[in-house]
Amino acid sequence: MNVYDGWRIAAMLEHRGMTRTENVSDADIIILNTCAVRAKATDKVFSALGRIRRAKKSSALMGIVGCVARESGADAFRRVPDLNFVLGPQSYHKLPEILENPDAKLLNIDLSGLEKFDSLPQMVKSPTVTYIPIQEGCNHCCTYCIVPYTRGREISRKFDDCIRDTIHAAKTGAIEICFLGQNVNGYKYTDENGHTYRLSDLIQAAAKIPEIMRIRFTSSYPTEMTDDLIEMFKTEPKLLPFLNMPIQSGAPDVLQRMNRPYDLDQYIGIINKLRNARSDIQISSDFIVGFPGETDSDFEQTVNIAKQIGYINSYCFKYSPRPHTAAALMPNQIPESIKSARLATLDATLNEIQRDFNESCIGKTLSCLYEGPDKTGRHLVYRTPYMQQCIVSRPDNDTMIPALAKIEITAANKASLRGKFVE
Ligand code: 5AD
Ligand code: SF4
């Protein structure tokens, strides 16, 4: 979602005749698009602001947008007096106001709903993988998570607006689209005639657009994985066989304290339905280790479920207490040293599963989407349907680089695959 917001902000400024610079001392405006999900990310914002204020031109405008802006509010101006603007994740479309009135201190952390989506100019050229936000905010209120506070309650965009944006993306260069939302499979929009649209309707409509060859969505909440959506994996070949559906923990007690009211049988039941719908589907998850009160045996259950489900492409994080969340006030907070040890153990398990999966791809031919040249320029980077990076040799003639290619996988390690073009 932050990557998407960053694109829209850049497009909005480009539309006003500004151009990008990688060099802080050249910039007329410096915008930090921020994440507040863990304390480390927030701390980084303020240390970066310290560096930037020393390097920037004195006339340059500097500010923060996104979740840290919403979390800190006016306090950010007290911490960094030279800040010019602080705009929350739903008010960054107000950014031009600071260009018109550079001497003001612009503060807006309202949760203004969907206003931003409709007041921003469309992008002239869309990336091959384009994000289409369909839903913002979250009603789940997991006890560790600051997102319901920073991004607000769940709200779904109009079906027609989502499809209009998808068609625009397709006509301007997109080959893959990724429907986005904090709780994307909770998408629900009822039009003026009382017709309700779900994510499965969006997938079917997007699949009819000829330029769109691959469709995915992120991030899904387990109990909102309804049968109509699961069915899409069976009936819609453009939907990639890869799903991010975080479990967070494998211990029932911890899940209960996290306010994630599903039990493991229910979660595994959903995975089984998905595998019945599409046998080659792979699942990824996020995990939090060191949640308040997590015992060694709770943690062991998390490692076990990771192995049992065989998650690929997953992330694990040390629990980070956040303001405005219930878990920050819970007893039995776990010491940092234990969190670090558990993180290392789970990371090693997830890496091992990833390596095994990558190696199991050797000899297979996968349909992969071109991403760009690698750092050396001698190779090309493609993405498999499972979001693995696949490296191929660069052909002599760049006009022969296909956007979507059949690639035979010839080698693999934990981080990436190697392959060769089949046709
Ligand atoms: N501490 C650690 N990780 C967190 N996440 C969300 N809140 C926290 C927190 N307070 C993780 C969850 C979520 C991912 C985006 O970030 O695993 O799925
Ligand atoms: Fe946060 Fe996701 Fe839980 Fe919503 S479902 S509160 S975004 S972790």
Predicted confidence band of residue 333 (pLDDT cuts 50, 70, 90)? very high
The boundaries of every CATH 3.80.30.20 domain in the chain are 116-360
- Asked if pLDDT for residue 122 goes beyond 90, the answer is no
Domain covering 116-360 in this structure, CATH number: 3.80.30.20
Could you tell me which CATH class the domain 2-108 is placed in?
Answer: alpha beta
Rounded Cα–Cα distance for residues 176 and 304 (Å): 34
Amino acid at position 144, single letter: Y
CB atoms within 10 A of CB 411: 13
Which ligand 2 atom is at minimum distance from the Cα of 148? 6
Of 97-106, 111-120, 311-320, 341-350, where does mean pLDDT reach its minimum?
Answer: 111-120
Distance in Å, CA 147 to ligand 2 centroid: 6
Structure tokens at 341: 């040890």
Provide the CB-side half-sphere exposure for 338 (13 A, CA): 15
Rounded Cα–Cα distance for residues 50 and 76 (Å): 12
For residues 290-294, average pLDDT: 98
Rounded Cα–Cα distance for residues 305 and 282 (Å): 15
Predicted confidence band of residue 121 (pLDDT cuts 50, 70, 90)? confident
CATH of 365-421, one of 2.40.50, 3.90.320, 1.10.287, 3.30.70: 2.40.50
Residue nearest atom 2 in ligand 2 by C-alpha distance: 182
**For 196-206, how does the pLDDT look when each residue is reduced to its tens digit (9 = 90+)?**
999 999 999 99
The ligand placed nearest to the CA atom of residue 291 is: 1
Which protein residues are within 6 Å of ligand 2, measured from CB? 138, 140-142, 145, 147-148, 182-183, 221
Which residues lie below 8 Å from residue 276, measured CB to CB, with a gap of 6+?
A: none
Residue nearest atom 1 in ligand 2 by C-alpha distance: 145
CA torsion angle for 309, 315, 321, 322 (degrees, to 10)?
Answer: -110
**For 12-38, how does the pLDDT look when each residue is reduced to its tens digit (9 = 90+)?**
999 999 999 999 999 999 999 999 999
Structure tokens at 163: 């499809």
Closest C-alpha to 261, from 273, 269, 253: 253
**For 226-263, how does the pLDDT look when each residue is reduced to its tens digit (9 = 90+)?**
999 999 999 999 999 999 999 999 999 999 999 999 99
Which protein residues are within 6 Å of ligand 1, measured from CB? 37-38, 144-145, 246, 248, 286, 288, 317, 319-320, 322
**For 265-284, how does the pLDDT look when each residue is reduced to its tens digit (9 = 90+)?**
999 999 999 999 999 999 99
Q: What is the mean pLDDT of the chain?
A: 96
Mutate to test the pocket of ligand 2, among 149, 150, 153, 182 (most ligand atoms within 8 A of CB): 182
Mutate to test the pocket of ligand 2, among 144, 145, 257 (most ligand atoms within 8 A of CB): 145
The answer to whether 390 and 381 are in contact (CB under 8 A) is yes
The boundaries of every CATH 2.40.50 domain in the chain are 365-421
CA torsion angle for 227, 233, 236, 240 (degrees, to 10)?
Answer: 140
* Distances 10 to 13, 95, 301 between C-alpha atoms, Å: 5, 11, 44
